[in-house]
Structure 1
Amino acid sequence: MATYPLRVVEKSIEAEDAASLYFDVPQDLKGAFSYRPGQFLTVETENEGEAIARQYSLSSTPGTHQRLRITVKKIEGGVVSPWLVDRASEGDLIEVQIPRGRFFKDINEPTHVVMLAAGSGIAPILSIGRWLLENDAGHKVTLVYGNRTPDTVILADEVENVAEKFADRCVVQHIMSRANGNWDGERGRIDREFVTKHFPEWDDRSDDLPMIFYMCGPEGFMDAAESALQQFGVPLKSIHRESFDMILEDDGDEPGLEVLGADSPGELGATTKIVAVVGGEEYEADWAEGEDILAALLRVDADVPFSCQEGTCSSCISKLTEGNIAVRPGVLQTLRQEDLDEGLTLACLSQPKSKSIRIDFDEI
Structure 2
Amino acid sequence: MMRDQATFEPAASRVTQPKFWGALPARWNSDTDDELVCCHVRQETHDVKSFFFRAPDERAFVFEPGQFITLELEIDGEPINRCYTISSAPTRPHTISITVKRVPGGKVSNWLHDNVVAGSRVRVLGPSGEFTCARHPARKYLFLSAGSGITPLMSMSRAHHELGDDADIVFLHSARTPDDIIFARELDLIASNHANFRTAFVCERVGARTNWPGITGFLSLPLLKLIAPDYLDREIFTCGPAPYMKAVRDLLDEGGFDRKHYHEESFSFETIAEVASQLTTAHVADALATDGELVEGNGFASAPIDTAIDTTYKVTFAKSRREIECGSGEHVLDAAKKAGVRLPSSCTQGMCGTCKVKLVSGEVAMKHAGGIRQREIDQGMVLLCCSKPLSDLVVEK
TM-score range, shorter chain: 0.7 to 0.9
Counterpart in the other structure of 1:284? 324
Shift of 1:19: 0.7
Counterpart in the other structure of 2:218? 189
Shift of 1:312: 3.3
Shift of 1:309: 0.5
Change (3 A) 1:311 1:178: same
Which residue type is aligned with residue 184 of structure 1? P
What does residue range 84-233 of structure 1 map to in structure 2 within 5 Å? Answer: 84-104=112-132, 106-107=134-135, 109-132=137-160, 134-135=162-163, 139-166=167-194, 168-180=195-207, 181-190=210-219, 194=220, 196-201=221-226, 204-205=229-230, 210-233=233-256
Q: Structure 1 residue 320 and structure 2 residue 356: aligned?
A: no
94-103 or 55-64, which moves further after superposition?
94-103
Change (3 A) 1:299 1:109: closer
Shift of 1:203: 6.0
**Gaps (5+ residues) in structure 2?**
1-29, 277-283
138-147 or 334-343, which moves further after superposition?
334-343
Shift of 1:189: 2.5
Counterpart-to-counterpart distance in 1, 2:312 and 2:127 = 32
Counterpart-to-counterpart distance in 1, 2:257 and 2:297 = 25
Which residue type is aligned with residue 6 of structure 1? L
2:95 aligns with one of 63, 67, 79? 67
Counterpart-to-counterpart distance in 2, 1:320 and 1:163 = 42
Which residue type is aligned with residue 211 of structure 2? N
Which residue type is aligned with residue 198 of structure 1? L
Q: Percent identity?
A: 29
Instruction: Name the larger-Rg structure.
Output: 2
Shift of 1:234: 2.7
Shift of 1:326: 5.0
Aligned residues: 344
Shift of 1:173: 0.5
Change (3 A) 1:202 1:276: farther
Counterpart-to-counterpart distance in 2, 1:326 and 1:242 = 26
SS of the residue corresponding to residue 357 of structure 2 reads strand
Which residue type is aligned with residue 189 of structure 1? F
Question: What value does the CA root-mean-square deviation take over the aligned residues?
Answer: 3.2
**Gaps (5+ residues) in structure 1?**
none
SS of the residue corresponding to residue 204 of structure 1 reads coil
Q: Encode CA deviations 1:137-172: one digit per residue, 9 max, x unaligned.
A: 774211111112222221222221222222x22111
TM-score (ref. length: structure 1): 0.82
TM-score (ref. length: structure 2): 0.76
Change (3 A) 1:302 1:89: closer
Counterpart-to-counterpart distance in 2, 1:233 and 1:324 = 39
Indicate conservation of the 8 Å contact 1:319/1:345, yes or no.
yes
2:298 aligns with one of 260, 279, 291? 260
Shift of 1:66: 3.4
Change (3 A) 1:197 1:326: farther
Counterpart-to-counterpart distance in 2, 1:257 and 1:61 = 39
Which residue type is aligned with residue 320 of structure 1? L
Counterpart in the other structure of 2:20? none
Indicate conservation of the 8 Å contact 1:112/1:211, yes or no.
yes
Indicate conservation of the 8 Å contact 2:294/2:366, yes or no.
yes
Shift of 1:75: 0.9
Indicate conservation of the 8 Å contact 1:74/1:82, yes or no.
yes
Q: Encode CA deviations 1:72-109: one digit per residue, 9 max, x unaligned.
A: 11111122212222332112222222312222253455
2:332 aligns with one of 290, 293, 312? 293
